[in-house]
Amino acid sequence: MMNLVTDVSELTVAQTRRALDARELSAVELTAAFLERIAQLDGEIGAYLHVMHDVALAQAAAADRRLLGGEVSPLTGIPVALKDVLCTIDAPTTAASRILEGFRPPYDATVVRRLREQGAVFLGKANTDEFAMGSSNENSAFKPVRNPWNRDRVPGGSSGGPAAAVAASLATVSLGSDTGGSIRQPAGFCGVVGLKPTYGRVSRLGLMAFASSLDQIGPFARTVEDAAIALQAIAGHDPLDSTSSPEPVPNYGEALTGDIRGMKIGIADEYTVDGMEPGVARAVAAAIVRFRDLGAELVNVSLPHTKYALPTYYITAPAEASANLARYDGVKYGLAIEAPTLRETYERTRGEGFGPEVKRRIMLGTYALSSGYYDAYYVKAQKVRTLIKRDFDEAWSKVDAIVAPTSPTVAFPLGARTDDPYQMYLADVFTIPANMAGIPGVAVPCGLSEGLPVSLQVLGPAFAEGTILRIADAYERSESWSARRPDLPGAAN
């Protein structure tokens, strides 16, 4: 007899789909089991800011009716967690910020709407660094997220909540956003699969903007197959998003052949930095050897401007954040602290509503955009960004994809870097280049170091999600790392 709370939480999307379709399990039973597990475990982990209990059960009941009527989509009845920067009409969307505490949007994000149309079940809004600004999920205004593998460690950021939810079996799949690595880095720290699509592959409508030229929505999952299923559900052109691409969406499932013989995989020396942990280096090196064993050809490539990606990002992203966050002024929505003058109202609302990291980035961005510094900083950063993209374009003439570490370290202790922003920002040194170039990347577990997950990322040309998923899937099939689970009640290790 299936123990619902412990057993169904371990199923992949594909396995759950088969169980639901075969009537071995109802969507209501499945959802109730997840809600019970969240109640048992999330007080310790902090993956959720808002549990959509009643909404989830109602959606599950509707999914069961669809199943009885034969109206089945790949995500019908599948429990999903949504990063709390995605607008939801039936639940608060706060971006983990006091300035939006209790705010309910009047519309759904396009990705949320598409999941609703498929009959997915929304378990809740997942925790995040405030306005997606952070690499550890310690910047949430409400509570930090703890890594399910070691509750004294960070889960990564900014999408620490969605990553931890999947890792701790508090959701089957989740959606996050990636501006400089905010899907891939926490996926790596939490030992799950995380996919950042090409910029424009997925609509950003209803995503609370951090840096508009960099933000992209993508899935967290237990397997590469599950990530492909989730991407299939949310990808595609959105006429309401001017940055959304009309590029046709292929069938990503068909790309998962398990065969990468003859494919050319690039290895770049630039993805080795001082301070890279030996355990991470060993695990990634072993994974690279495995790609060769699987029949791929390893090719050395050069990305000489990659070393400039981190400083370029920390000019570009804060500058765009400074402009985007100007809308939170206490007048239109969210927190409003009244004062004798309009200026004082702005100052008090923003001063009390925003946390330290958000203020830091607003000030950095405002400075970079200010008169006398715009050309010296922002314009120069855009020129360097072009050089970074050109390096990747040159590499694609030689290889099908590039494999690199996701992060130079495993998950670091809570509080270890909160007083050192520079060290915190270095956690994203390997993920930021893909955002600067607008290309897709998928992080997949590749080992353990100090008992914590190590991850590698597969990067590919724009709109080559099928290629990187194929490579990541072939590697995943050859190893057992994606099947490993943290030591939690009901987890299979």
Catalytic residues, which ones? 83, 158, 182
Token pair recorded at residue 142: 């409400």
Strand partners, 90: none
Cα–Cα dist 12/358, whole Å:
36
Q: Which stretches does DSSP call E strand in 100-204?
A: 121-126, 173-177, 193-196
22 contact partners, CB below 8 Å, separation of at least 6: none
Instruction: Give the DSSP letter string of 383-398.
Output: HHHHHHHHHHHHHHTT
| Radius of gyration for the chain, computed over Cα atoms and rounded to the nearest angstrom | 21
Cα–Cα dist 405/205, whole Å:
31
Token pair recorded at residue 339: 């004062």
351 contact partners, CB below 8 Å, separation of at least 6: none
Q: How many other CB atoms are found less than 10 A from the CB of residue 449? A: 16
Cα–Cα dist 163/175, whole Å:
9
Q: Which amino acid is present at 87?
A: C
Residue 422: which H helix or E strand, with range? helix 421-425
Dihedral, CA of residue 347, residue 352, residue 357 and residue 358, to nearest 10: -50
Cα–Cα dist 15/229, whole Å:
12
Cα–Cα dist 258/473, whole Å:
6
